[in-house]
Amino acid sequence: MPFPDFSLRYRGGLSAACVLSAAVALSACGGSSSSNRSSVSYNATIERTTQGIPHITADDYRGLGYGHGYAIAEDNLCVLADAYVTFRGERSRYFGPDEPAAVMGTFGSPSNLEADFFFRFVVNDQAVEDFMAEQPREMRDLSDGFAVGYNRYLNEIQAGQHTGRHADCRDAEWLGEIDEKAVFRRLVALNLAASSANWVEEITAAMPPSAAPQRLRNPSLESDGGINLDPERFQLGRQFGIGSNTYAFGGEATQNGRSLNFGNPHWYLEGVDRFYQMHMTLPGKLDVAGVSIIGAPMVLLGFNNNVSWSHTVSTARRFTLYRLALKDGDPTTYIKDGAEQPLQEETITVQVLQEDGSLAPVSRTLYRSEYGPMINLSSLHPALAWDTNQAFTLRDVNLENTRSFKNFFAFGHAGSLDEFVASIKQYVGIPWVNTSAIGRDDERALYSDITAVPNVPDSMLAGCLVPTLGPVILQAVPGLPLLDGSRSECDWKTDSDSVAPGTFGPANLPVLLTTDYIANMNDSYWLSNPDQPLTGYAGIMGQEDYEQSLRTRMGHMMVEDRKVGTDGLGTAGASSETVREMVLNSRNLSAELLKDDVLSTVCGTASGNEETACDVLTVWDNTGNLDAAGVHIWSAFWLKIRNQDDLYATPFNPEDPVHTPNGLNTGNADVVAAVDAAFSEAVQEVVDSGVPLGATVADWQKYAKAGTDIPQYGGEGYEGYFTVLRNTYMHVVDFPEGEPVRAYTMLTHAVTTDPASPYYSEATEDYSEKKWLEFPFTEEQIRQQSISITELSQ
């Protein structure tokens, strides 16, 4: 049989060349043996620069994907290959049923077995095929090339090349090739990060009650202490801390009158949902840099020579719950508009590894309504169980959203801010983040939450919110409606400008274009600019007139100081230099607001360890910088006191949301007693930990990497740090007049997860030293930082 012509040339620090002739088997040097692509060619160049960042150049989208797939496998083969096992629903086959399916990530950490049933049921073949069918040819080519490039590197590893690399998986049974469908399966799964993926176990445990002679009594909400709605349970990834900071400065707010963009996602440091930094160039069509989430074939957040953008996790809800009224005697049939509607059932069989090494099938029958998967909410309260009266189902806007990655794809191609905004309104496809952006020669800054949101206007709630249960859930989880599924009038609405049925149109979604500035730190759209608040949107989008997080307030306060030059950074107004410095300042707002009052309260009679702690905190500069001492004492104290009722002397005032609440409420005896107790407990905890009371941040706060622990500054957002511990990627981008785009970046966890890579720690060490990378964008800049070149041809 004829073999495709493979060639591979390395220059610099990479391994020796591998050249295939027609007489050499495919497996010797990689390639796609899973399908016959003899009529299609794949060509790409990968040039790596400082920190190992790949710059991928090709003559078509297929080649661009090919280079990306090869590069990301070279950097993250084990993590990505392990994730493909997850998305195929085969973890139990290789790893057994009980271990967590992920260390961290957008679908939480369910067991392998529950993850298998979820992905086989929700991210099934039909969902993937429907999604693929709606994508443009360019995206299909990009994804096909990605699979071929990934497979090429995988085959090289399996042929014994790249000695020492990817030791965790290079000989694993589960390491296997992928195809275009696997790439899109990953995208469908990523779409669900703020919706169905939050409810893996609840969806896979949703089954009708066993046959019963009588109806089950519906428990009251007052039983068992009320409904259990932990706010963290409803966060993306089911945990606080996953979010972002972003600024876009318009011409009024900068020193040179030109716009500037700061992006700062707080994302996953481990696992397949990490960011991957890269630069993709298709001459004459695409030249974009930034980050993807591992496995997504295009840049999701970044910049080209004309626009720069970033994202933060939005407060909008991406799903709603529906209560179904069941037919008497049949818990798998519900009544809607008086007519019987049978649930769709699907029996799924998963192969499960046994202790003796054999495989055994485990089957489960799961159900869907017309809205989407059934969901078992009994863990929240018995009143939410699937019984003989009722059942609950979930409708997920992003299970229906095939536009999401077309929207991201369009961002990279935008030639101006106006084109960028037009693409947002054309697709309304962004799945769970809002957007900041700027454009070349454009003084405006953009904030947009024009995204895929269920069209549930507030006017609909009075008639469609499920009595008793609905208001309780809405009170505990603002914006999340429990709707009546027995009437079609409670289905999602459609606006005259809706891009897809059941979603809001752009005219009913928040957007702001201003020559001042915009900011978002994961509070709602309301205070994107405190002087230009956005109001009047549906509750499902987020709250208005509510107390902002300390991180949000810190973000706005820093801009206030910068605009008038009172932060010690020189001339008033934002610039690339001043923004790069201020966003890493590690200021702690809770300490700035309350430390002096707290010390006045607790230190007057302190002795022993508490007196030492008072001395340390008195001279602490209220930052989390590496040389700051006493930070851990305040952190332990704040964790205990932050939710104390009436803590502040001045309560929240929606007329001054950036500066209120403030001051310690020393006139309240309960608050004073709580502060005293919390301080004593915190000091004792620190002493018991073995970390000295006078230790600096560098002594105890580390980024643990194989073979090294790297000091990390900053802290938790709930303490009021803008500079948070989960910083993952950062960029500061502007467009100097008559010059190419100027970008400074940081990828705190590095491009690779492989400890054997030469790039494993460099970026993390640079971040620890607050060392920004001046990103090489032009050919000349890339040449100056070039480390190696890999030319691929197939």
Q: Which residues are CB-neighbours of 603 under 8 A, at least 6 positions away?
A: 610, 611, 614, 618
Measured at the CA of 777, the angle between CA 773 and CA 782, to 5 degrees, comes to: 80
Which residues, 6+ apart, have CB-to-CB distance to 382 below 8 Å? Answer: 219, 223, 224
The DSSP code for 104 is: S
Phi, then psi, of 639 in degrees rounded to 5: -60, -30
Of these residues, 92, 244, 292, 308, which one is catalytic? 244
Closest CA to 161 of 305, 293, 29: 29
State the number of CA atoms in the 13 A half-sphere of 385 facing the CB: 16
Whole-number Cα distances in Å, 267 to 279, 535, 748: 20, 28, 11
Q: What are phi and psi of 708, to 5 degrees?
A: -160, 150
**CA atoms lying within 13 Å on the CB side of residue 354:** 7
Query: Tokens 């710059």 — which residue?
Result: 55
Tell me if 751 sits within 8 A of 763, measured CB to CB.
yes
d(CA 120, CA 705): 34
Tokens of residue 719, six digits = 């303490």
Q: Residues 258-284, buried b or exposed e (16+ Cβ, 10 A)? A: bbbbbbbbbbbbebbbbbbbbbbbbee
> Tokens representing 637?
């104290």
Give DSSP secondary structure letters for 699-762.
Answer: HH-EEEETTEEEE---B-GGGTBSSBTTB-EEEEEE--TTS--EEEEEETT-S---TTSTTTTH
Q: Name the nearest CA neighbour of 147 among 55, 229, 65.
A: 65
User: 605: buried, middle or exposed (CB in 10 Å: 19+, 13-18, 0-12)?
Assistant: exposed
Q: How far apart are CA 554 and CA 249, in angstroms?
A: 16
CA angle 306, 307, 308 (to 5 degrees): 140
The answer to whether the CB of 743 falls within 8 A of the CB of 305 is no
Query: Which among 395, 377, 392, 399 has a CA at the least distance from the CA of 193?
Result: 399
Q: Which residues 6+ apart lie within 8 Å of 347 measured at CB?
A: 363, 364, 365
Nearest to 642 by CA among 551, 542, 560: 551
Q: Can you give the C-alpha Rg of the chain in angstroms?
A: 27
DSSP H/E element including 520: strand 517-520
DSSP state of 526: G
In degrees and rounded to multiples of 5, residue 55 shows phi and psi of -110, 115
Residues present in the chain in total: 794
Q: Which two tokens stand for residue 471?
A: 């208001």
State how far the alpha carbon of 421 is from the alpha carbons of 91, 439, 496, 573, 739, in Å. Answer: 41, 10, 19, 26, 23
Return all residues near 631 (Cβ < 8 A) that are at least 6 apart: 588, 620, 623, 624, 697, 701, 715
55-66 burial: b if 16+ Cβ within 10 Å, else e: bbbbebbbbbbb
- Verify whether residue 244 is a known catalytic residue: yes
Residues designated catalytic = 244
